[in-house]
Structure 1
Amino acid sequence: MAITSYPFSSSPLVTEVQYALTASRWGKDGVHTDDLSSTALKVTANGTSSVSIAAGSAFVNGATFENDAAYSLSVTSNSGGSSARKDLVVLRYDASSDSIAPVYKTGGTSAPGLTNSSGTGVVEIPLAECTVAAGASVVASGAVADRRWGVGRPIAYGTPGARRPSRRGQLLVEGNDIYLGDGAVWNYVGTAGSPTWGTYTPVWTAGSTPINWGSGSQNIGRYKRDGKTCHVTIQLIPKGNPAGYDDPLQVNLPFACHNTVRQLFAVAFTSSNSEGSALGTATTYPTESTTKIARIRFPVSSGSSGVPGAEVVNTVNMLTNEPFNVRTDDVLTISGTYELA
């Protein structure tokens, strides 16, 4: 048994086998194309005893194959067959013949398998599956199924301010964010890593005026970010009674929200000061701010509906003292999922 390492000055890469073992790991086997809707090495038939392989190039076992014009490949006759036969058109890397060549492989009721001898002998990749009818020696135009493997491009890395042009089928990594190119734009796929909970300190305001809820207040913000969405829970238990303000109660978010659509959150309020409890809705107003929940609203009864004894249900903005006087040991909870900018 021998141990060999290369390429070094004292032990250069000198044989075809050494090159194949090395280069076959540089890239994936397949047709050089970003999009398999292209015609690169695509196989077509027109009802004759041959199929045509379009121009294109491919990578097989560390070596490159190039075809600069349409190439005709003969079909093996099925004239004596009693049932349809499924064949393969492959590119065959053959170390013994120093070549990569198109080969028509006959099968049976199912297509033949591919040969792969681990980089040192014969390695095949598929281009097409052809069906030859019983008793026939031709392939009909509709009897070719595309079986090409596309190699695409390697993963690219970048920053949002310096993105390269979008390439169809290519992955782009920016930090932990992953995007897939479609040839025109980079489409967000997801963020690497399992979503985990984080914490932040919510900042409460009435308009632009900061609110002091009193020393020892519980003011908790928890969030879980998953790609372009974020789940957030905010809980406030005051230890004081702030002044009354005319502006709506607002609270900041851990991350900026989407700048075109409103986002909704569930709200629960429980008074420890004999004012009952209520369920409401919190809303972002992107035209006003993308960094905070701009309104907290609760349903109230207001006015007559025109029916004796009936009232119309409306909603009102939550202020520090309306519709509840928020003070010591009251509990205000906001929870929901929103779309990030």
Structure 2
Amino acid sequence: MAIASYPFSSSPLATEAQYALTASRWGNDGVHTDDLTSTALKVTANGTSTLSIAAGSAFVNGATFENDAAYSLAVTSNSGGSSARKDLVVLRYDASADSIVPAYKTGGTSAPGLTNSPGTGVVEIPLAECTVAAGASVVASGAVADRRWGVGRPVAYGTSGARRPSRKGQLLVEGNDIYLGDGAAWNFVGTAGAPAWSTYTPVWNAGSTTINWGSGSTNVGRYKIFGKTCHLKIQLQPTGNPPAYDDPIQVSLPSACQSAIREVGFNVVFTSGNGEGSAVGTAMTFPTESTSRIARIRFPLSSNASGTPGAAVVNSVNMLTNEPFNIRSGDVLTLNGTYELA
């Protein structure tokens, strides 16, 4: 069995297959776009027997495809069919034809598969899945499902002091920290190995009012993220005595929580430096109100709900700035727990 290595001055790239094998590893097959909400090579239908492929470019098996204007592609009729048919619009790299062209592939009750024979064969990537009704030769405007792949970008490396502009969908590695670009900023994903603690400044509010805990107060939030779970610690040590607000105290999260259910995994400890003792409670999110905040801090109490002496029942009370404690300088409020990220 022969072996080969290239390109060298004595053995340059000599064939199309050698080039394809080499160049296909330079990037992922797909449409050149950072965001698949773009219209690059997007397929649309208008209820006629042709589809329209928007302008754009793509990379397939190491070769480039460009389309600088809307391109029409004929729909294969299903006039003799007794049931709806699912078809694919693909970009087809064909080494024998020296081309990449849009192609329409008919299927059946499910869409057809993709051909993938790199080198001297045929390689296809999907653009759209179309449904052609039984007996029809047209595709309705709502019968096209986007199936484009994005080429994406290679992982970037850098330092926090010299960060490149954010690119949507790109990963950035700084030391062991990993960030995901959204086109405007780099969003922290996690830390390789043991995640590092990150800090943020919690924002406290009562209703629509932001609570001022006093100049020089200690208000620290620390968190670390494992996958979709955030471990959170918040400690507040006020230096003032804010007004008595009627609304429950709320505090911001470093990242949004999931919206399906309430999170109740926060332990709360309050210690008074003003002779009011201490208490242990719990905190929770109310996703129907907000996914960006801990919405309630509650402490258990006993109350005589029936009016009969001795008939105490378990109850709890929301924490306000002055209830069940008058929070002021010298007090310490600590929250510690985990929650699921959105």
Residue 30 of structure 1 aligns with an amino acid whose one-letter code is G
TM-superposed CA distance for 1:159, in Å, is 1.3
1:141 match: 141
TM-score, length-scaled by structure 2: 0.61
Residue 191 of structure 1 aligns with an amino acid whose one-letter code is T
Q: Deviations over 1:83-135 (max 9, x none)?
A: 11110000000000011000000111110000001333000000000111111
- Cα distance change on mapping 1:12 and 1:230 into 2, 3 Å: same
2:20 match: 20
Residue 31 of structure 2 aligns with an amino acid whose one-letter code is V
1:150 match: 150
Greater CA drift, 54-63 or 152-161: 152-161
1:85 match: 85
Q: Work out whether 1:172 is the aligned partner of 2:169.
A: no
Q: Deviations over 1:228-284 (max 9, x none)?
A: 97789xxxxxxxxxxxxxxxxxxxxxxxxxxx99x987699xxxxxxxxx9879xxx
Output aligned runs, 1:241-252, within 5 Å.
none
Q: Deviations over 1:136-167 (max 9, x none)?
A: 11111111000000112111111112111111
1:2 match: 2
Output aligned runs, 1:183-198, within 5 Å.
183-195=183-195
User: Where does structure 1 lack aligned partners over 5 or more consecutive residues?
Assistant: 198-222, 233-259, 269-277, 282-311, 320-333
User: Where does structure 2 lack aligned partners over 5 or more consecutive residues?
Assistant: 198-221, 234-251, 254-265, 272-277, 282-322
Output aligned runs, 1:71-82, within 5 Å.
71-82=71-82
Output aligned runs, 1:9-88, within 5 Å.
9-88=9-88
1:330 match: none
- C-alpha contact (below 8 Å) 1:156/1:172 kept by paired residues: yes
Residue 123 of structure 2 aligns with an amino acid whose one-letter code is V
Q: Deviations over 1:196-224 (max 9, x none)?
A: 99xxxxxxxxxxxxxxxxxxxxxxxxx99
Output aligned runs, 1:220-259, within 5 Å.
none
Partner SS, residue 20 of structure 2: helix
- C-alpha contact (below 8 Å) 1:24/1:119 kept by paired residues: no
Partner Cα distance (1:279, 1:48) in 2: 70
1:163 match: 163
The ranges of structure 1 where at least 4 consecutive aligned residues each deviate by more than 6 angstroms after the TM superposition are 227-232, 278-281, 312-317
Partner SS, residue 21 of structure 1: helix
1:130 match: 130
Residue 23 of structure 1 aligns with an amino acid whose one-letter code is A
2:108 match: 108
Partner Cα distance (2:98, 2:36) in 1: 28
TM-superposed CA distance for 1:20, in Å, is 0.5
2:239 match: none
RMSD: 3.9
Output aligned runs, 1:186-225, within 5 Å.
186-195=186-195
- C-alpha contact (below 8 Å) 2:171/2:180 kept by paired residues: yes
Partner Cα distance (1:179, 1:26) in 2: 22
- Cα distance change on mapping 1:65 and 1:280 into 2, 3 Å: same
Output aligned runs, 1:326-337, within 5 Å.
none
Partner Cα distance (1:121, 1:225) in 2: 48
Identity of aligned residues (%): 77
Partner Cα distance (2:39, 2:327) in 1: 63
- C-alpha contact (below 8 Å) 2:267/2:280 kept by paired residues: no
- Cα distance change on mapping 1:267 and 1:196 into 2, 3 Å: farther
Residue 37 of structure 2 aligns with an amino acid whose one-letter code is S
Q: Deviations over 1:17-47 (max 9, x none)?
A: 0001111111000000000000000000111
Number of positions where the alignment pairs a residue of Structure 1 with one of Structure 2: 243
TM-superposed CA distance for 1:9, in Å, is 1.0
Q: Deviations over 1:48-106 (max 9, x none)?
A: 11100000000000100000000000111111111111100000000000110000001
Partner Cα distance (2:194, 2:61) in 1: 36
Partner Cα distance (2:324, 2:141) in 1: 68
Partner Cα distance (1:225, 1:187) in 2: 14
Highest Rg: 1 or 2? 1
